[in-house]
Structure 1
Amino acid sequence: MTDVTGAPPAGSRRKARPEPDESEILRLGQVFNRGLGGIPVLLILAFALSLSTDVFLTGTNLDNLGRQVSIYAILGIGELLVILTAGIDLSVGSVVGLSGIVAAKAVFDTTGGGSVVWAVVLALAVGALAGLINGVLVAVVRLPPFIVTLGMMGIARGATLLLTGGRTVQPLPDGFSSIAEDSLFGVADLTWLMLIVTVVVAFFLRRTVWGRYLYAVGSSAESARLTGVPVRAVQITAYTLSGLLAALAGVLLASRLGNGVPTAGTGYELQAIAACVIGGASLFGARGTALGALVGALVVGLLDNGGTLLGIDPFWLQILTGVLILAAVAAEHLRNLRGAGGNG
């Protein structure tokens, strides 16, 4: 039989692993691509933080960590749906900010009736609309996802500042703040909501035709189209749901902060992408799971939480997050090159 990795030259059979360093990188990439790489990273981070500070394992800190991770996870799972189609949504952070402000103003402004339900519904509608516009421009007009969502990022952030004049919307009623503060059976409602979103999305990705369509489009949109997959509808749906979940994250963040902050969500698109990539998603499409995005969000949340506890400059944490994204993508790219070389 022929070795797909290529037979070694004559006289060099003793060199079974001519490039050990590259092989290790490729193996690491395969682990991350299966969504398992985030788990050991998560355990190592948690262990290191438990040794570094006595505050980490306190009930107050773990509760705070769970609430923050819930927002990252919901946002990351929405981003995952777009990434599975080989797209990208850079607007999610700005949609978080816009939706939070819309909800805050709706519940603060008497013209909105002061209804918390009305505020949440309106904010979710705004997020879904932003996602729908992204989806139509990508799927129908066929503009590059990077350009489309970068433009939406600017539009959403500009609209946020226009609505508020750059000022914080406060104070917000207790009924709105309770969305993020209440607990059930000792577990924060945010955590329950995160688990529900994870389970529902995981079910649809694994058990429904729509989920299989997402992976098919990400693998090859043209091949999927030829086999009868409604590629445009799948892409539009993915971006719309990404906007909807970003809006949900925005409402939860505003509720957690207790006011509407115009700059809320800034940089969250990086956290969402990092959660997906660390959790095993491929930025080239067709690979990733909801559980992996949840694990990735836990890693991102631990980095933020640990940095705060240890007094690390948050700018260093941003650099580390970017390095993690680049490392995971580079490992996958090397794996793809190795696979292409073997097939050739």
Structure 2
Amino acid sequence: MQLSLESHKPTLARFQSLIALFVLCLGISLMSDKFLTVANFWNVLRQISVNVCISTGMTLVVLTAGIDLSVGSVLALSGAITAGLLRNGIPMPSANLFIGFTLLGSILAGILTGSGLGWFNGWAITRFSLPPFVATLAMLTIARGLTMLWTGGFPITGLGDSFTYLGTGWLIGIPVPVWISGLIVAIATLITNKTRLGRYIYAIGGSESAARLSGVNIERIKMVVYTLAGTLAGVGGLLVTSRLDSAQPNAGISYELDSIAAVVIGGTSLSGGRGSILGTVQGAIIIGVLNNGLVLLNVSPFWQQVVKGFVILLAVIIDQKSSKRE
């Protein structure tokens, strides 16, 4: 019996995320009759779309043995920039000038804001050899402060039906945010599995010194990875702002924790070099189902934070044990 169990351990480890998701869904469905409904199914998918976008970028970063703690604040600033330009433009009274922005222009400005902040993270890490934890922690504070300055501490609302369609609309019977996050996952999966960039990302996470000796431009790849993470955080900010029809100054708080949890639960090693985008999607679904289930069961928001904290701790412990075995 023990020999049989040992022989099945690799298979169990490979499908541990799916097994955890099945057990979680089964438990919640037994405790709430509202869980297994079509409306709740689409609600969960719409909610996890933002985390999927952010976590996809986080996966690329973690695969290089890095971390990005700033994604929540970058999301908030990107959403605020989009909403502010769309709603108010850029007035210049001293020059008797007003610069207005179309819907597309506002969206591009918000996403490019995320790209720029991500690029700055990568530049600071590679140029000054800063630990990613320190550099992105600084950006977390910087971006949050810039969001407060841009919004004045007040939400920006009334963004129009065309904009809110991105976060609340449907396309061929599927929510638009699900289409957007699905497209991002497909592109990221293609990059990591089929391109030279993907091979370099895994190589850096596996052994940075070996990758450098093999001729990989470590600094350039890290710059690209952090820029992509910022860009996808900007897309997440677009979806959140669109869904709420409002840019909230405190948007994105603790989103980085959900993102890291999704990445680790999905099987990506925090030491880098091992993991996949599809695994992260599974982790994001688990986090989304857990959040949804706790709400349906009327669990206090404070206890929800406690539960998610223990889930993250358990996922990291499992990751560390897996790394030691390998």
Matched residues in 2 for 1:114 and 1:180: separation?
A: 20
Q: Does 1:128 align with 2:115?
A: yes
**Which position in structure 2 is the counterpart of 1:218?**
205
User: In the alignment, residue 235 of structure 2 is paired with which amino acid?
Assistant: L
Q: Does 1:102 align with 2:89?
A: no
| CA shift for structure 1 position 75 | 0.7
Residues 255-295 of structure 1: CA distance to partner in whole angstroms, max 9, x if unpaired?
01111111110000000000100100000001111101111
**Which position in structure 1 is the counterpart of 2:254?**
267
Unaligned runs of 5+ in 2: 91-98
Q: 1:232 aligns with which of 219, 222, 228?
A: 219
**Contact 2:263–2:279 (Cα < 8 Å) also in 1:** yes
| CA shift for structure 1 position 114 | 4.6
- The 1:45/1:336 distance shift into structure 2, 3 A limit, reads closer
**Which position in structure 2 is the counterpart of 1:82?**
61
Matched residues in 1 for 2:141 and 2:160: separation?
A: 30
User: In the alignment, residue 318 of structure 2 is paired with which amino acid?
Assistant: A
Matches within 5 A, 1:252-291: 252-291=239-278
| CA shift for structure 1 position 199 | 1.0
Matched residues in 2 for 1:333 and 1:53: separation?
A: 34
Matched residues in 2 for 1:317 and 1:31: separation?
A: 28
- The 1:110/1:335 distance shift into structure 2, 3 A limit, reads closer
Q: 1:40 aligns with which of 16, 19, 28?
A: 19
| CA shift for structure 1 position 61 | 1.9
CA-based RMSD of the aligned residues comes to: 2.0
Matched residues in 2 for 1:195 and 1:283: separation?
A: 24
- TM-score calculated relative to the size of structure 1: 0.87
Matched residues in 1 for 2:284 and 2:25: separation?
A: 13
**Contact 1:37–1:278 (Cα < 8 Å) also in 2:** no
Matches within 5 A, 1:241-260: 241-260=228-247
Deviates more, 1:273-282 or 1:319-328: 319-328
**Which position in structure 2 is the counterpart of 1:51?**
30
Unaligned runs of 5+ in 1: 1-15, 340-344
- The 1:31/1:320 distance shift into structure 2, 3 A limit, reads farther
| CA shift for structure 1 position 163 | 1.0
| CA shift for structure 1 position 252 | 0.3
Residues 164-220 of structure 1: CA distance to partner in whole angstroms, max 9, x if unpaired?
121111122111111112211210111111111111111110111110000000011
Matched residues in 2 for 1:264 and 1:117: separation?
A: 22
- Paired residues, number: 316
Q: Does 1:67 align with 2:46?
A: yes
| CA shift for structure 1 position 67 | 0.7
| CA shift for structure 1 position 315 | 2.3
Residues 287-331 of structure 1: CA distance to partner in whole angstroms, max 9, x if unpaired?
111101111110111111111111111222222222222222222
Residues 206-249 of structure 1: CA distance to partner in whole angstroms, max 9, x if unpaired?
11111000000001111100001111111111100000000000
**Contact 2:267–2:319 (Cα < 8 Å) also in 1:** no
Q: Secondary structure at the match of 2:157?
A: coil
**Contact 1:213–1:234 (Cα < 8 Å) also in 2:** yes
- The 1:51/1:338 distance shift into structure 2, 3 A limit, reads closer
- The 1:31/1:232 distance shift into structure 2, 3 A limit, reads farther
Matched residues in 2 for 1:323 and 1:144: separation?
A: 26
| CA shift for structure 1 position 113 | 2.5
Q: Does 1:304 align with 2:283?
A: no
Q: Secondary structure at the match of 2:246?
A: coil
Question: After TM superposition, where is structure 1 displaced by more than 4 Å over at least 4 residues in a row?
Answer: none
**Contact 1:65–1:302 (Cα < 8 Å) also in 2:** yes
Deviates more, 1:319-328 or 1:148-157: 319-328
Q: Which has the larger radius of gyration?
A: 1
**Contact 2:261–2:315 (Cα < 8 Å) also in 1:** no
| CA shift for structure 1 position 110 | 4.0
Matched residues in 2 for 1:76 and 1:110: separation?
A: 31
Matched residues in 1 for 2:207 and 2:310: separation?
A: 28
- TM-score calculated relative to the size of structure 2: 0.92
Matches within 5 A, 1:53-202: 53-111=32-90, 113-202=100-189
